[in-house]
């Protein structure tokens, strides 16, 4: 993956040194410059090399973030917002150096409005922390990208995950944000009403903007009532096509599946090995239904009929929580199970998303590409959304393998775009997907650049992410 | 309502004359300048005085819209996109003159992808036309703002309506748009995938931008499967508070109501008179459920229990289509029925939206205000969203009445904002709500202005809407 070189000329050395001094005066030892800590803050879970920030700072309030941004603006130094560091496309790297703004200490749940099914949290609150906080209210926050990410990070990358098919993505579940813009001012994008047609949708503009337009200081989220009943199950299919046909019929019939996950045969094999399971090593769909007792039973029965019509095997399902966990074990452990296919390998996780009518074709062509390239790469898909992940297992020290994986990722993206899909369903652009975004958006990327230029004319907010942009 | 005066200095007379000449050469008699036609294109269903465009033009393709926009940009002449003219806040007025771009002839359904539950249409397609087109597919487009509006207009104003509580608003149902920007280029904001985290959410930026960022040339919409069963019913309540409590419990329990509409006692009285009905003249909720036969029965039974707990009267409901239409007659005819309260009056329709926990308080305080002001003004609410409409019936030729109504609308908006609500749930800002948007957004309105300035530096795209903005 060719990232732009970190040319020395793009680092504002004087500004960086000055800002660190200014911030130290105000924040004392909440400004840290040790290399280990800085490396942790540039850590990415991808193969993209780490690019360290020059300092890490721990603000404790929106006002403090404003002070930091103003100082960085005065001296033209990059500001890189940091949540939990679980993003996948180099979002937290500092290609031009700068200050990593760690939001860990902004971790208060500011309010929960149970009657309105909403809450407002600081950006450093993690999704598990929020759901623990909500435990006694009968409500929960559904979005689950896998990692225990921060709400700020999930908002910034427009995260989603397994139950987006039912509850939507962060796009649909953020009611409003507050943010410090590049000029250091705090804005709030909306009130708490469930809908509004009041002017430009600034909330949606900030959701998915990857820290390039401001630093989030609070996020107001939509919550859901905990369903009365949950049922879950698993169903094998003779082929990816058969499984995808079952998904299409399920969505078309309007069955409100909470999750509908596809694992390919290789992934099923890995899960059997990892958890000592006896699942058939063929493509499988894992489902979950939320509703009333009668509702989830009806949904499961309807899906069972669809699966049978599509050539699926027995649909085993249950409302018993322990049995459900057992049935879902393969899906839950899929990521870690993958590494049994190649112990010691590094995993590159990449995602694309296509219209669901093209999902079977896209997954099958990708499997053929994997075989032809000689890669080991299981596939897991959020099939109801047409979104799937390929985990390429490689020896990161073998340049030929890395090159083969990179060219495979390139073809995967071209394939998705050719099917009117997107180069990323939920990971975001960061650094890794920038070339594909150019292809996906055509002239519209210029509109994105004009917005960026208008709101961050000095290009200090997380520069080098989403698109290239000269200062 | 004090609109800015149409100062002669803001009209670019030379440019307008030149552009009309240029467009006539290219478009012949598809450029019209007759006063009656121009007046129809400035017609608004509000009390805001009409401000006529200088010409109306009928393009037949995206390329032709590009030609028009480029000509207007060359001569700095306003471009006012026109759908069906059913907007409520002066969106299609031409305060600085300019060219009304009537999209009536852009009325093709470009594609329907039944397997993906999406379609792409030109902006002049109306929602009824689309649903007629979809009749044989088993799919429908749910958003229903009442009027048979164009999809382009509904997109531009972020429309919603009675079933937004179930299916969302245009924000949630537009997958992508194509638009001619102020520079005359066509962009497309997204591909057809159901979700994406690929860069800034330009789709959501255009949805609700009221023609101020570009002219839409196509809209890709999410469709829904026609539900297997629909049940509907009506339930009287002793008070607005009791009705709103039932709404809150219904939403909190996660009952997926398709519609849940509140009519106040005055509105019920008007409906009885208009349709010769015998409904009790107390607040009532009108409900509709979509799902399987068993599902809609279960939902209705659950709601009946909630209503009883909240002090409601008998919940009459049915799955029989004719009986359902009969039960819903009061709601369907509510707008026209209102005029029986004051025959010959003009109606000012205004809307606000608050968190649902504040809905009862907001409606009750508004009823008291109506009484204290001496107005005749029934209330209808999309209660599940916290959104309600007040239809003020007045003698538009009586300046004292108009002034009283205007100050009432001002207090209504202040009240909604004080409850963390919005000055418009679904009508948009246009000209009428501009002062309230300033109050609602605070400093964030400056971000909107910066985006506008970046994307339309000459301010030719529907100027004078959403916010004031000097050229």
* ipTM here: 0.96
Contact residues on chain B for A204, CB-CB shorter than 8 A: 171, 201, 204-205
Say yes or no to pLDDT of A43 above 90.
no
Tell me: do A233 and A260 sit in the same domain.
yes
Task: Please give the pLDDT value at position A137.
Answer: 95
CB contact under 8 A, A195 and B292: no
B448 with A199: Cβ contact below 8 A: yes
Domain assignment present for residue B468? The answer is: no
**pLDDT per residue over A214-227, tens digit each?**
999 999 999 999 99
The tens place of each residue's pLDDT in chain B, 471 residues long, gives 333 434 445 799 999 999 999 999 999 999 999 999 999 999 766 678 899 999 999 999 999 999 999 999 999 999 999 999 999 999 999 999 999 999 999 999 999 999 999 999 999 999 999 999 999 999 999 999 999 999 999 999 999 999 999 999 999 999 999 999 999 999 999 999 999 999 999 999 999 999 999 999 999 999 999 999 999 999 999 999 999 999 999 998 889 999 999 999 999 999 999 999 999 999 999 999 999 999 999 999 999 999 999 999 999 999 999 999 999 999 999 999 999 999 999 999 999 999 999 999 999 999 999 999 999 999 999 999 999 999 999 998 999 999 999 999 999 999 999 999 999 999 999 999 999 999 999 999 999 999 999 999 999 999 999 998 654
**Residues B273 and B181 reside in one and the same domain:** no
Same domain assignment for residues B81 and B164: no
The answer to whether residues A134 and A191 belong to one domain is yes
> Smallest CA–CA separation between B85 and chain A, in Å?
17
Q: State the Cα–Cα distance between residues B471 and B457, nearest whole angstrom.
A: 8
Residue after which a domain boundary falls, among A193, A225, A257: A225
pLDDT at B45: 66
We report the CATH number of the domain holding residue B20 as 3.30.43.10
The pLDDT value given to residue A10: 77
Same domain for A361 and A392: yes
Closest by CA position to A256, among listed A303, A210, A314? A303
* Distance (Å, whole) CA A266 – CA A249: 25
Nearest to A252 among B117, B172, B416 (CB): B117
Q: A50 CA to chain B: closest CA distance, Å?
A: 22
Contact between A422 and B198 using a beta-carbon 8 Å cutoff: yes
Tell me whether strands B99-102 and B79-82 are parallel, antiparallel or unpaired: parallel
End position of a domain, from candidates B37, B69, B103: B103
Residues B117 and B213 in one domain: yes
What pLDDT shows up at residue A6? 40
CATH number for position A416: 3.30.70.2740
Please report residues of B whose CB lies closer than 8 A to that of A251.
117
Pairing of β B284-291 and β B229-236: antiparallel
In A, minimum Cα distance to B302 occurs at: A292
For residue A294, give its domain range.
Answer: 229-335
Residue B470 located in a structural domain: no
Tally of domains within chain B: 4
Residues of chain B contacting A196 with CB distance shorter than 8 Å: 158, 353, 422, 424-425
CB contact under 8 A, A199 and B466: yes
With DSSP H G I counted as helix, E B as strand and the rest as coil, what are the percentages for chain A, rounded to 5?
A: 40, 20, 40
Using a CB-CB cut-off of 8 Å, the residues of chain A touching B195 are: 160, 164, 169, 171, 353, 385, 387, 425-426
- A330 in a structural domain: yes
Residue B362 counted as domain residue: yes
Within a domain: B356? yes
Q: Which of A158, A159, A294 sits opposite B298 (nearest CB)?
A: A294
Task: Kindly state whether residues B271 and B369 are assigned to the same domain.
Answer: no
CA-nearest residue to A161 within chain B is: B195
In a domain, A267, yes or no: yes
Same domain (yes/no): B51, B74? yes
Last residue of a domain, one of B103, B121, B153: B103
In sequence order, which ranges of A148-198 are alpha helices (DSSP H)? 151-156, 164-167, 170-173
Collect all residues with Cβ–Cβ distance below 8 Å to B318 and sequence separation of at least 6: B231, B232, B233, B324, B327
Residue B444 inside a domain? The answer is no
Contact assessment for residue A230 and residue A258, using Cβ atoms and an 8 Å cutoff: yes
Question: What distance in Å separates residue B193's CA from the closest CA in chain A?
Answer: 5
Is A207 found in the same domain as A116?
A: yes
- Asked if B313 and B258 sit in the same domain, the reply is yes
Q: What percent of chain A has pLDDT over 90?
A: 94
Q: What pLDDT is stored for residue B293 in this prediction?
A: 93
Of residues A116, A158, A200, nearest to B448 (C-beta): A200
Interface test with A, best of B114, B142, B182, B194 (most A CBs within 10 A): B194
Same structural domain for residues B221 and B233?
no
Indicate whether A211 and A116 sit together in one domain. yes
Q: Which CATH number characterizes residue B270's domain?
A: 3.30.70.3450
B449 found inside a domain: no
Q: Distance between CA B257 and CA B204 in Å, rounded?
A: 25
Beta bridge partners of A353: A387, A422
Q: Do B444 and A188 touch (CB under 8 A)?
A: yes
């Amino acid at each position: 993956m060719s990232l732009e070189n970190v040319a020395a000329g793009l680092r504002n050395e004087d500004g960086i040194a000055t800002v660190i001094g200014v911030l130290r005066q105000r924040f004392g030892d909440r400004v840290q410059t040790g290399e280990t800590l800085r490396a942790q803050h540039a850590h990415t879970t991808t193969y993209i090399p780490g690019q360290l920030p020059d300092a890490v700072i721990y603000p404790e309030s929106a006002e403090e973030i404003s002070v930091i941004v103003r100082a960085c603006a005065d001296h033209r130094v990059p500001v890189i917002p940091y949540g939990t560091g679980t993003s996948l496309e180099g979002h937290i790297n500092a290609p031009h150096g700068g200050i990593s703004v760690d939001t860990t200490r902004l971790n208060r749940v500011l309010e929960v409005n149970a009657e309105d099914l909403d809450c407002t949290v600081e950006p450093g609150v993690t999704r598990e922390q929020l759901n623990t906080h909500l435990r006694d209210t009968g409500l929960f926050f559904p979005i689950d990208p896998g990692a225990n990410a921060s709400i700020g990070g999930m908002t910034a990358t427009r995260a989603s995950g397994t139950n987006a098919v039912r509850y939507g993505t962060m796009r649909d579940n953020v009611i409003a944000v507050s943010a410090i813009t590049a000029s250091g001012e705090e804005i709030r994008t909306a009130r708490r009403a469930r809908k509004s047609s009041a002017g430009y949708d600034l909330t949606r503009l900030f959701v998915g903007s990857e820290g390039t337009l401001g630093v989030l200081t609070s996020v107001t989220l939509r919550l859901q009532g905990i369903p009365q009943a949950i049922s879950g199950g698993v169903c094998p299919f003779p082929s990816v096509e058969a499984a995808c046909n079952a998904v299409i019929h399920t969505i078309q019939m309007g069955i409100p599946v909470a999750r509908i996950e596809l694992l390919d045969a290789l992934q099923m094999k890995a899960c059997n090995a990892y958890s000592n399971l006896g699942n058939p090593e063929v493509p499988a769909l894992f489902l979950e239904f939320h509703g009333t007792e009668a509702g989830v039973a009806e949904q499961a029965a309807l899906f069972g009929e669809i699966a049978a019509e599509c050539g699926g095997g027995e649909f085993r399902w249950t409302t018993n929580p322990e049995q459900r966990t057992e049935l879902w074990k393969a899906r839950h452990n899929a990521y870690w199970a993958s590494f049994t296919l190649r112990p010691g390998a590094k995993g590159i996780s990449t995602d694309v998303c296509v219209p669901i009518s093209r999902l079977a074709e896209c997954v099958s062509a990708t499997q053929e590409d994997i075989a032809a390239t000689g890669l080991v790469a299981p596939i897991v898909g959020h099939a109801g959304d047409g979104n799937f992940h390929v985990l390429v297992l490689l020896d990161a020290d073998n340049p030929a393998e890395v090159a083969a994986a990179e060219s495979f990722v390139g073809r995967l993206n071209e394939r998705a775009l050719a099917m009117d899909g997107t180069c990323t369903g939920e990971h975001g652009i960061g650094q890794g997907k920038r070339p594909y975004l150019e292809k996906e958006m055509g002239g519209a990327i210029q509109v994105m650049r004009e917005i960026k230029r208008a709101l961050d004319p000095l290009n200090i907010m997380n520069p080098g992410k989403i698109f290239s942009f000269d200062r």
